[in-house]
Structure 1
Amino acid sequence: MTRILVCVQPARGHAGPTKPLVEALVGSGYEVTAVTGARYRETFERLGATVALLPPEADFDETDLDGSIPGRAGKRGLELARFELANFVRAMPHQLSVIDARDADVVLCDPLMMAGLALVRRDRRPRVLTLGFVPFMPPVPTGPPGRFRGVVLKTLAPWVLGPAQKLADDLLGGDAGMRFTDWPLHSDGVLQMTCPGFEYPRPGAPLHFIGPTTVSAASEHPLPPWWADLDGGRPVVHVTQGTIANDELGRLVEPTIDALAEEDVLVVATTCGGRLRPGPLPENVRVAEFLPYDELLPRCAAVVSNGGYGGVNHALRHGVPLVVVGASEDKREVAARVAWSGAGIGRARASASPRKLRRAVRAVLADPRYRDRARELAAEMAAGPTMDEVIELITAPCHSLS
């Protein structure tokens, strides 16, 4: 029997899209072990997988990143990105201590688990596939905007990536043999959880577009008492800052509420663990901590997001156009893809004013090109491989999908 190791960082945006794959693999009779943090032990055990916990040095609590990751508190912007990249690499030997203790035929590896970098360098190793729930890096689009971004990336890359690269080289004996962020290029395939129309063309990259896999149903997030208001006739605009960069809802959720307070729309906000400022809400606003996306998104006319890759692709799966404003983690890249794909308006900014958000939402609602393009991407996703075909790809080395 094929033994499969699924290595995933203990974060909702990583575990969520991985769960359906694990459930399908277990249901198909494969022996599955999930390597993850303590917070997600029960999540994967409920699916029938064995769980091997990361040691404390490689684990963290996504609800308290500053408290669970020494040295993170107080850092912002590029300084924070620089720290986090080095911290991902620093966890490599601790991740490997768990992975190497188990025999596996196939390893499905989180792209931010740097154990993947060590694995793909080995002559004798299991088949390694990358879980593609972040933007595929590092392609830069052509044309003037692409050239500008390329210059910026080239200028900043040595400072941002340098400490992590040196650490990777040191941990791997003096020379990693590749840029540490490029290890998915050397894997046996990337299960990219989107469609070709939402990723920059990358000839020769080992990409298999499998579409978004996350399931968000009412069984996981019960419907709130005001749910029937969504069928009241007003266009529904959903706004969220996701589950990581939501410590300050004043960056996007609150400005969007202010922007649309006088508009003829129903604003549905999710806080995802964050807290709104005290005080009354406008009449046209409804709030919940979490909502079932598979129930909510088909009712939406637009989504305002800070650019979580999974949430954006979930919206596109339902043909919903977007306004994306985000700059943390990988969100600059997601905002750029939203604009490049034509499925909405993307801004690589940490926040936006109510005036600019109002203008962007009005544009997305009024211009049919955004919804038409979002629906085209939804059709691409629907035409992608079935879960059975994805499982065949994972378990049959000779099989390939385009």
Structure 2
Amino acid sequence: SISYMKEDNEGNMWYVAKNRAGVFRLQEDYTYQHVTTPFLLLSGRFIHGFESFYPYAADRMIIGTEDGFAHYSSRPVSRGYGELSVYITLAEALHQDSVFYYGSPFPAKEMTKGYKFNHRNNLIRFTFASPVYDSPGTTEYSFILDGYDNEWSPWSKTYYKEYSNLPDDRFTFLVKARNQLGIESLPDSLVFSIDHPWYKTPLAYLGYLVAGLCIAFLLVKFIRWRIEVSSRRERLNNQRIYQAKEQDYKRQALEAEKEIIRIRNEKLQAEMILRDKELANQAMNLVRKNEFLNELKEEMNRLRQSCSDDGIGRKVLEIITRINREVDSNKQREIFESAFDEVHEDFLGRLKARYPNLTPAELRLCAFLKMNIPTKEIAPLLNISVRGVEICRYRVRKKMGISREINLTTLLLGV
């Protein structure tokens, strides 16, 4: 609501509404222009019911406020408002509990170089102000830390700013002010830098380089060692494979040799069996021949006794004599015995080594028994009686130390 209104001599309408002043200025076309911006500095400074506007001259107005008078003119404003400025008045390194900048309207030479601070736990505070004396509470500030902030901060009446744990870099702090009329000042600035941490110093980079070279060297050695180990393992593996194949070849060769020996032994065994059969047949033939000659001799003896003719008797006697010579002849027996000894040489050797007390005749009896030749047929082969064969068998049993329950032929087959 309007608490005060006044018309001046030029037709302009001055007013106060909600403790804010303004004017409706009359134009040449008899329209009004509403002007409020120049009076923003007076907002809230009127006493309700005691507002006062006094035009003492053309385009000159004295305005009463709670703490005095204000002068207004539509002509260019005074020099003080056109030179709005802002200054950084104090800069503190709170982590070092020190002040490194006290403010100066004329920057010193060292300011262009900036200030340096330790990277660890850094905490920087900037205090700034604008020398506005007619309305200091309405000044607003905006700031930016170049190299850290992305944009200017919103306008506010805060007159300080703190930054903590800044990264290592070079920074420029800038601040500007704005008065109630919206006039902005030129920014003030302060340059400073945060030192690199120890792990970003040239010495650290040199250490990184040395460490990298050492790691590369160790890596190369490790790779070479791995290659050497792999090659050695491959050689050992190939050697094991070669040895396994060699052992397999030797085993196959040994098996082949054993098979050859087995086949050879089977062949020798078969030959032995064949020769045993031949020898047995030869022995049987010899026995049958002697039996036949003995029977023939007995027939001739009966013929000689029954014959009365002396000539025929003499002739029969000659035949009997020849038969006796043939029966007693050792030539055929010697051939048989030579073949028998050749066939049973190994058997006779083993038997003699085990029982050295056996005589040659007893050894030959054992061989005949091994050939499963009956006792009756062994007698003529040994040129002894059947009773003599039995006696010889008894002596063999006694020398071998075997009881009557053990079969002698079965024992000889296992020798």
- TM-score band by shorter chain is under 0.3
Structure with max Cα Rg: 2
Query: Counting strand residues as a fraction of each chain, which structure ranks higher?
Result: 2
TM-score (norm 1): 0.19
Comparing both chains, which one has the higher relative contact order based on Cα–Cα distances under 8 Å and sequence gaps of 6 or more?
1
More helix by share: 2
